[in-house]
Amino acid sequence: MEFFSFDRLPDFETGEVIIFDKPYSWTSFDVVNKVRKKISEYTGIRKFKVGHAGTLDPLATGLLILCTGKKTKLIEELQGGTKVYEAEFCLGATTPSFDLETKIDKTFDISGITEDDVRKALAGLCGEREQTPPVYSAVQVNGKRAYEFARKGRTVELKHKLITVYDITVNKIELPLVYVTITCSKGTYIRSLADELGRSLGNGAYLKSLRRTRSGEADISKAVKLDEFVEYMGKIMDN
């Protein structure tokens, strides 16, 4: 598949598949809206079709695929690709959102946990199984996002999803921190894996940082920065 490049003039209407390196704190929809605005200015089409192929949490960085024009038809296909993430788990505490979107609500003693315990627990998270999405997630519940209910303190029941964790490679363990590379299927919540790791150790854990590096054929090495894209659009509009 050919991806967007600064080396050629884009054809946004026929369609472009753009790999972005999403900035920290930006939502996937923030990126879509920013890109749509710039493309609309360039094409003169007010409501230009732009969509993303797989949400990335605001506190995560890395690979976010956007499709434009007629290539928005590829979104479902692109979403199904295998994902690769670089994650940092922190043992000894939990948060309601399973990451740093919310404050720590419980702490635990990790003095009895060894590196071998952690490696065995991570190995136990691999394979095909059901996973419940975090209550602080973008999953649709009665027409609203689950996080909208969670932020108001309301409890909603989320359906289990069948996922596959193909591999978890341990890069480094410096307790309470655990650094891993995770290869998994569409729909896998890495935040939930952090929480599951803590539970399997009879302890607690949350996701401290996350970066997506691959989705299907798309690799972070082919990604463009959002500010670079904005600058590029300004240049081709001036010519």
* Least confident interval from 43-57, 93-107, 152-166, 193-207: 152-166
Domain count of the fold of the chain: 2
What is the average pLDDT across 114-134? Answer: 94
Flag whether pLDDT at 138 surpasses 70: no
75, 89: one domain: no
CB atoms within 10 A of CB 92: 21
Asked if residue 233 and residue 204 are part of one domain, the reply reads no
Q: Which of 11, 21, 30, 57 is catalytic?
A: 57
pLDDT at 5: 94
Residue 133 has a pLDDT of 78
According to the model, what pLDDT value does residue 160 have?
79
CATH number at residue 55: 3.30.2350.10
CA–CA dist 95, 100 (Å, integer): 7
Average pLDDT over residues 165-194: 97
- Domain of residue 90: give its range: 83-215
106 and 196 assigned to the same domain: yes
CA distance 207 to 118: 15
Is residue 8 in a domain?
no
Instruction: Give pLDDT, residue 124.
Output: 97
Residue 159 has pLDDT above 80, yes or no: no
pLDDT range class, residue 183, cuts 50, 70, 90:
very high
Position 143 confidence tier, pLDDT thresholds 50, 70, 90: low
Mean pLDDT to the nearest integer, 182-186: 97
User: 154 with 145: CB under 8 angstroms?
Assistant: no
In the annotation, is 57 catalytic?
Answer: yes
Beta carbons within 8 Å of 9's beta carbon, 6+ residues apart: 236
pLDDT of 123 > 70? The answer is: yes
Query: What's the rounded Cα separation, in Å, for the pair 129 and 16?
Result: 35
Rg (CA), the chain: 19
Give the list of residues 6+ apart from residue 103 with CB closer than 8 angstroms, or none. Answer: 95
pLDDT over 60 (residue 186): yes
pTM over 0.85: yes
- Domain co-membership, 94 together with 69: no
172 within a domain of the structure (yes/no): yes
What CA–CA distances, in Å, run from 121 to 113, 115, 131, 190, 194?
A: 11, 10, 16, 15, 11
Residue 46 has pLDDT above 60, yes or no: yes
DSSP states of 43-101: H--TT--EEESS---TT-EEEEEEEEGGGGGGHHHHHTS-EEEEEEEEESEE-TTSBTT
Residue 177 and residue 228 share a domain: no
